[in-house]
Every structure is written in C-alpha cells, then in structure tokens.
Structure 1
Amino acid sequence: MILVTGGLGMIGAHTAAALVDRGEEVVITAHRATEVPSFLDGRVTVEALDATDREAFLALADRHEIRDIVHLAGSIPEDDPVEFFRRDTAGIFNALEAARTWRVRRFAVASSIGVYTGRSEVPWTEDLDLPMVDLPHAIVAFKKAVEPLTMFGLAGSGVHPVLLRIGSTWGPLMDPVSAFNLIPPAVGALRRGEQPPALHAEDGGDFGYAPDTGRAIALLMTAPSLKHSVYNVSSGYRYTHRELADALRAAIPGARVSLLDGRSTGVDGDPYLDISRLRAETGFAPQFDVMGAVAHYVAWRAANSR
C-alpha cells in the first residue's frame, strides 16, 4: 500500500488517482480538506490526520501495511512565516520518522520549481547547483530546505529518497482564486462573463496540468528502480499567453481575452523545467497540451466548485 499525505489537495488527489489507476492500493491522509472528489470516491482509504501529530502519524502502520510514502501535506503561511515553518517542519520530520520506522522502499516529497530561482539557464535541469538568493515565497524557502533534510534524514536507512521538483501545476481542485497560477482565476472570471486582466502575448512559462503531474509522480513511485533522487515533474514545455488565450476562447464561447504585444519585460525565455530524466526513467509523456488542459478544466468547473 502507498501512503499519500495531503491526498485531498490538488496534487495529492491526482497522484492518488493515478496510483490506483496503476493497480496500487492507496491510503490518503486529510486534515483541512474533507470533501473527496468524484474521481477518488470509493477508490482509496481516507485517514483523518494532522501530519504534525507524531503519535497519530506513526499509528497509521497499526492499520495499514505501507510500502511507500508520498509526502505532499502542507499548509499556507500566515503573516508570520515562523509558525508556518514550525508546522510544516513537524510534518516532514514525522513523515521521515515514519519512513525509517516502517522501512518503506521509497519516500517522495514535494519540492518546487522555485528552488532554481537565480539560475539564468533555460530550461532548468536537475544537475544545476541551487544558488543562495532571495526566494519569492516562504513556501519555496521551505521546499528548498526540505531537500537536504530529506537526504540527510534518510541517509543509511535503506529508504530511497525522491525529491519532486514540481513545476507550475494547476487544474481541478486548485483554489479558483489562487495567486499561484493565473489560469483558474481567469477561467472563473470568464465563466462569470467578466474580462480577466490583459496578458502579454509572449509571456508564459512552465506548464503542468494536475492530472499529468499526478501521473508522473505515480510513475516514479511504481518504477521498478530509479537511478536518481531528484526529478523535475512537469510537462517539459514552455507555454505562452497567446496559446492560453486561444485555448480560453475555444473552451468558453464568447470569451474576451485581451493580449498585449510582446513581453512584459525585455528578458527572453521564461523559465521552465526540463523533464528528460523523468521521461527516460519512467516513459512519462504529458497527456494534456494547453488546449486540452483548458478544455478539460472548463468542463470540470462547470460541475465542480474548484
């Protein structure tokens, strides 16, 4: 059985679904979110768990025979990031202790595309050194810190660490007004008959659609063996706002999407993730391009609140 913490979040739920699709038994943990999406209903075991509760976390093994862990549980920072760091650090420590105590085969944890901040190369590859620079968000700072904590925490344990440097993922179950991706808020505005803010046509960046992201993680967890401990997880594609506008107009009749010429800055080449390593070791290929992802998401939102 594979444990997915944070399994009712966007990436966690799609990861759990993809694992079940591959014939795995899955137990997910849920804390703040409680609504099971339709594509998971009746397919997974749900455990209520605050990942910061050490005893409750370790007690999961009393009820389930857990072979692998995908640790995706996390929270949103308050104004004081110290409380966020304290809470989510407790969660990762408990997950690492569980991995060692249960002697699981593989332990995957969510990192972020943001750890590459400061690198000028495009696309970003796993072998790049991570610079010490000002980071864009407390969540990115935490994800960057999680990487060495995980590697040292599992050293000598026999557990294979898998650091998931997840790209700019969006899709079903994302907060419709999320500040982390412009597409769900734009879809929401257009569905209300409003016009979203104008976009520069040649701006864009990394593109990951949640069902594809979940399937990539599932492939990493079920591969017979892995050669590395760090994997970029995304589509491996740099999209543009011009492509997004075309997709929105196709999916939402009458959609008014304004484009500004060129780019918002004079810098060429928005960063995105190279996924050659993921492709080579798992055979992953994204099933959704921009047009297909937007059409799928618009249809989903017609029947679901997020």
Structure 2
Amino acid sequence: MILVTGGLGMIGAHTARALVDLGHEVVVTAHRRAGVPSFLAGKVAVEPLDVTDRDAFLALADRHDIGDIVHLAGSIPGENPVDYFRADTTGLLNALDAARTWGVRRFVVAGSLGVYLGRTEIPWHEELALPAAESPHPIIAFKKAVEPLTLDGLRGTGVQPVVLRIGSVWGPLMDPESPFNPMMPYLNAVLRGERPAPRYAGDGGDSCYAPDAGRAIALLTTAPALRHRIYNVSSGRRTTNRDLAAALEAIVPGLRLELRPGAGGDPYLDITRLTADTGFTPAFDIAAAVADYVAWRAANPR
C-alpha cells in the first residue's frame, strides 16, 4: 500500500488517483480538508491525521501495510513564518521517521521549482547548482530545506529518497482565486462572465495540469528503478498568456480576450530526466487542459 500525505489536496488527490489507476492500494491522510473528491470516492482509504503528531503518524502502520510514502502534506504561512517552518519541518521529520521505522522502499517528497530562482538559464534542469539567493516567500525557503533534510535524513538506510521539484501546477481542486498561480484568477474571471485585465501575450512560464502532475508523481513512486534522487515535475514546456487566451476563446462562444504585445523569457522546467526514467509525457496540452477544467468546474466549486 502507498501512503499519500495531504492526499485530499490538489496535487495529492490527483497523485492518489493516478496510483489507483496504476493498480495500487492507496491510503491518504486528511487534516484541514475532509471532503473526498468524486474521482477518489470509494477508491482510497482516508485517515484523519495531523502530520505534526508523531505518535499518530507512526500508528498508521498498525492499520495499514505501507510500502512507499509520498509526502505532500503542507500548510500555508501566516503572519509568523517561524510557526509555518516549525509545523512543516515537524511534519517532514515525522514522515522521515516513519519511512525509517517502517522500512519503506521509497520516500517521495514535494519540493518546488522555486529552488532555481536566481538561475538565468532556461529551461531549468536538475544539474544546475542551486543559487544562494534570498527566497521571496517562506514556502520556497522551506522547500530548499526539504532537499538536504530528506537526503541526509535517509542516508544509510535502505529507503530511496525522491525529491520532486514541482512546477506551477493548476487544475481541479485548486482555489479559483489562488494567489500562487496567476492563471487561476484569470481563467475563473472568464468563467464568471467577466473580462480580465489584459496581459502581455508572451508572458507566462511553467505550467502543468494537475492530472499530469499526479501521474508523473505516481510513476516516480512506482517505477521499478530510478537513476536519480531529484526530478523536475511539470509539462516540460512554456505556456504563454497567448496560449491560455486562445484555449479559452476556443471553448467560450464569442469570447475575445485583449492581450498586450510583448514577450517574456519566463522560465520553465526541463523534464528530460523524468521522461527518460518513467516514460512520462503530458496527456494535456493547454487547450485540452482548459477544456477539461471548464467541464470540471461546471459541476464543482473548485
């Protein structure tokens, strides 16, 4: 059985779905979010768990035979970043403790493309040395720390660590007004019948539809062998505002979105390593992703 912490969040739920589709038994943990997405109903075991509770975390093994861990649980920083660092570091350390105690095969953990900020090379790939630049947000600062904590925390064990440098993921279950992805407020303004403010046509950058991200993580979790410990997870291509506007105009009758001329050299993730080791290729281009998301939102609030 595979444990997915934070398995009712956007990335976690799509990862759990992909694991089930691959034929695996899955248990997901839930803390703040209790509703099970329709595509997971009856297909996974759900365990209420605050990952900062070490005893409760380790007690999961009393009820489930867990062979792999995908640690995606996380929180959002409040006014005091120290509280956020304390909570998410404790959750990570408890997950690592569980991996060591249970002797799992593989420990997969969420990092971020934000670790590359400061590198000017495009696309970003795993061989780049990480810059010592100041992090623009506490989440990115923590995700930088995730990598050495995980790799050193499992050193000398039989547990294989896999750090995911996850790109800009969007799709079903994401907050429609999320401040972490500018695509979401723009897209959802259109769904409300509003006309969003014009954007520069060539701006954009990394983008990955959530079902694709979940499938990539599932493949990295279940692959018979992996040659690396760090993998970029995304679509492997740049998505521009021009691409997004065209996808929306193709499915919303009469819609014409205003774009300003201009192009940005926005970064995106190279996924050559991911594809080589798992065979992953995205199932959704931006047009298919937008069409799928609009159909999902017709029956779901987020």
TM category (shorter chain) comes to over 0.9
Taking only the aligned residue pairs, the percentage that are identical comes to 68
Match of 1:274 in 2: 270
Q: How many residues align?
A: 302
CA distance in 1, matches of 2:137, 2:246: 30
Could you give the per-residue CA deviations for residues 247-299 of structure 1, whole angstroms, max 9, x where no partner exists?
01112223342201113xxxx52100000000000000000001000010011
CA distance in 2, matches of 1:144, 1:252: 40
CA distance in 1, matches of 2:49, 2:254: 44
Kindly state the Cα deviation for residue 187 of structure 1 after the two structures are TM-superposed.
Answer: 2.3
Match of 2:123 in 1: 123
CA distance in 2, matches of 1:97, 1:61: 12
Could you give the per-residue CA deviations for residues 173-194 of structure 1, whole angstroms, max 9, x where no partner exists?
0001001112222222112211
Given residue 134 of structure 1, which amino acid in structure 2 is its aligned partner?
Answer: E
Kindly state the Cα deviation for residue 125 of structure 1 after the two structures are TM-superposed.
Answer: 0.6
Is the CA contact (8 Å cut-off) linking 1:279 and 1:285 kept in structure 2? yes
Match of 1:303 in 2: 299
Kindly state the Cα deviation for residue 79 of structure 1 after the two structures are TM-superposed.
Answer: 1.3
CA distance in 1, matches of 2:16, 2:76: 21
Is the CA contact (8 Å cut-off) linking 1:187 and 1:298 kept in structure 2? no
Unpaired segments ≥5 residues, structure 1: none
Match of 1:186 in 2: 186
Are 1:199 and 2:199 an aligned pair? yes
Structure 2 counterpart SS, 1:142: helix
Q: 1:64-83, aligned counterparts within 5 Å?
A: 64-83=64-83
Match of 2:234 in 1: 234
Runs of 4+ in 1 over 6 A off after TM superposition: none
Greater Cα shift, 252-261 or 71-80: 252-261
Kindly state the Cα deviation for residue 167 of structure 1 after the two structures are TM-superposed.
Answer: 0.4
Q: 1:24-173, aligned counterparts within 5 Å?
A: 24-173=24-173
Q: RMSD over aligned Cα, in angstroms? A: 0.8
Is the CA contact (8 Å cut-off) linking 1:208 and 1:234 kept in structure 2? yes
CA distance in 2, matches of 1:251, 1:115: 36
Alignment CA distance shift 1:69-1:148 (3 Å): same
Is the CA contact (8 Å cut-off) linking 1:190 and 1:256 kept in structure 2? no
Is the CA contact (8 Å cut-off) linking 1:167 and 1:273 kept in structure 2? yes
Kindly state the Cα deviation for residue 136 of structure 1 after the two structures are TM-superposed.
Answer: 2.1
If the length of structure 2 is used for normalisation, what is the TM-score?
0.98
Match of 1:6 in 2: 6
Given residue 294 of structure 2, which amino acid in structure 1 is its aligned partner?
Answer: V
Unpaired segments ≥5 residues, structure 2: none
Structure 1 counterpart SS, 2:175: coil
